[in-house]
Chain A
């Protein structure tokens, strides 16, 4: 507890500096609302239910897109490593689209799917799928050939080898690919909601900022940033738990 406090003490210092500077009037409140105003604005939004409804709609979109990306990405990646023909066909497409900034797809998703949930879910799905695919492919490709031969020689079917040898040995790399995808899906979610949406955190930030309610805008921005951070930390804990069998 004390160790955590010492470690994160600089953040408290920053918060204190924020409060001090704005209280002393050194920074205009229109540029940086005092921290206590931000906190009370956060409380107002939370009590009014706005934060909750928009948060639920953002998190549902993010979770749906990411879940699809994980399922299809790891499936395609493992199959790419396992079947040569799939690799030949899919790999050039993956390699071509991987470096492409996925946010470029935001306007197309709007053209195709409108302003609602579907455009965000598909955007996150498409954007987050490629890192998952590549990491599953790299992980599965790196499977120790001796392990595959041993399992085969002991009579395991091809499918069993895939499930019990290839997938577990691809897991460490796959899980770190999913971590990238998690971070990316937050970015795509917030970006697409800032640009076009009728609900969600990004929409709230835009709408509060346009209305000049800067203390509330800061409250939502900090909430999203905090959620992204917490999601990453929880995921790291989950990853350590799943990979506990490794030395």
Chain B
């Protein structure tokens, strides 16, 4: 029976339960070390080797997360942090891609911005935070601007590299078929550049969240970073650890989210998988 199975057997209809079980099994195995880690933390905290101040038990921390969620603080702080981080990320993405494409296509623009980008890219731009505070105050405008300033450079450099790497034959073919410059940009350059541009965005997204949180820690106010630094000032260690858990989950969700978007946008491309080197 099996010997007669044609090579191109039609895919079996329905869901393969055995494969689903294998996938879930693998997930369970990879969750195991994390579960052990949390249990060890709980035990260590309960054994009072370390004081509850230095290491609150995970149950206490999760209680606090739950309390924050019920009281609405979590939604407010998470909302404010994500709103500012995402607003900055969106501005950096749009402006960075636009500037990157113009730089790749226009020599004068390239000449002017290239040294600025190459000097600013490796700089610890977080050091400019007090200057942004001085210029733009302590509220959303300065926080969002700081996020844009930090997140835009990886987008620009990835876009330039991507737009320059577009296969010349595609451009020549499209031109010889009579495509206008606009069509060239929309139909060839942007799709061909997309994989590398997305890699740049995948670098920029966690940077946006990190910078937003540091900015909040320094300026205070609402947001996960502000709440954490407030808890730390009042020596409220469950609050500090709850902040870490909330921020870690937010970061994980963002990174996984953009990876899913990448896979959807790039189903046609072999680089649909996440970049390995970030």
A1 close to B (CB within 8 Å): no
Residues of A at under 8 Å CB distance from B? 7-11, 13-14, 31, 88-93, 95-108, 110-112, 131, 134-135, 138, 173, 176-177, 180, 183, 186-187, 189-191, 194-195, 201-202, 205-206, 209, 214, 217-218, 221, 224-226, 228-229, 231-233
Interface residues of B in 74-133 (CB under 8 A from A): 111-116, 119, 122-131, 133
Is the CB–CB distance between B128 and A225 below 8 Å?
A: yes
B54–A101 touching, CB < 8 Å: no
B134 touches A214 (CB 8 A): yes
Q: Which of B221-278 contact A (CB under 8 A)?
A: 224-225, 228-229, 231-232, 235, 237, 240-241, 243-244, 247-248, 251-252, 254-256, 276-278
Bound Cα distance A176, B275 (Å): 14
A111 CA / B231 CA spacing, docked (Å): 11
Query: Shortest CB–CB separation between residue B239 and chain A, in angstroms?
Result: 9
Q: Are B277 and A176 in contact (CB under 8 A)?
A: yes
Judge whether B213 is part of the interface by a CB distance below 8 angstroms.
yes
B33 engages A90 (CB within 8 Å) = yes
Can you list 19 A-B contacts (CB < 8 A)?
A14-B116, A88-B29, A89-B33, A90-B33, A92-B31, A92-B32, A96-B248, A101-B247, A103-B213, A104-B248, A108-B240, A183-B124, A190-B124, A190-B126, A205-B127, A217-B131, A221-B127, A225-B125, A228-B124
A177 close to B277 (CB less than 8 A): yes
Nearest 8 pairs between A and B by C-beta?
Answer: A232-B122, A107-B232, A99-B255, A186-B124, A101-B210, A104-B247, A209-B130, A92-B30
Do the beta carbons of A107 and B231 come within 8 Å of each other?
yes
Select one of B33, B133, B213, B225 contacting A93, CB under 8 A: B33
A-B contact number at CB 8 A: 155
Chain A residues whose C-beta falls within 8 Å of the C-beta of B248 in the assembled complex: 96-97, 100, 104
Contact across chains for B126 and A194 when beta carbons are under 8 A apart:
yes
Chain A residue at minimal CB-CB distance from B276: A138
Query: Is B141 located at the chain interface by the 8 A CB criterion?
Result: no
Residues in A with CB closer than 8 Å to B116 are 10-11, 14
In the complex, how many residues of chain B place their beta carbon closer than 8 angstroms to a beta carbon of chain A? 58
Do residues A225 and B237 form an inter-chain contact, with CB atoms below 8 A? no
CB distance from B273 to the nearest CB of A (A): 12
Chain B residues with CB under 8 A of A99: 206, 251-252, 254-256
Option from A138, A195, A228 in Cβ contact (under 8 Å) with B217:
A195
Are the CB atoms of A108 and B214 closer together than 8 Å?
A: no
In the complex, the chain B residue whose C-beta lies closest to that of A186 is: B124
B197 to A: closest C-beta gap in Å:
19
Which of B122, B129, B228 counts the most chain A CB atoms within 10 A? B122
Which of chain B's residues have a CB closer than 8 A to the CB of A225? 123-125, 127-128
Contact status A228-B122, CB under 8 Å:
yes
Q: How far is the CA of A104 from the CA of B255 in the complex (A)?
A: 16
The answer to whether the Cβ of B179 comes within 8 Å of any Cβ in the partner chain is no
Q: Please determine whether B229 and A195 come into contact, CB atoms closer than 8 angstroms.
A: yes
Q: Name the residue of chain A whose CB is nearest to the CB of B135.
A: A31
Looking at the assembled complex, report how far the CB atom of B118 sits from the nearest CB atom of chain A, in whole angstroms. 9
Residues A10 and B111 in contact in the complex (CB < 8 Å), given A99-B252, A218-B131: yes
Give the residues in chain A near B247, CB-CB below 8 Å. 100-101, 104
CB distance from B149 to the nearest CB of A (A): 12
- The answer on a CB contact under 8 Å between B130 and A221 is yes
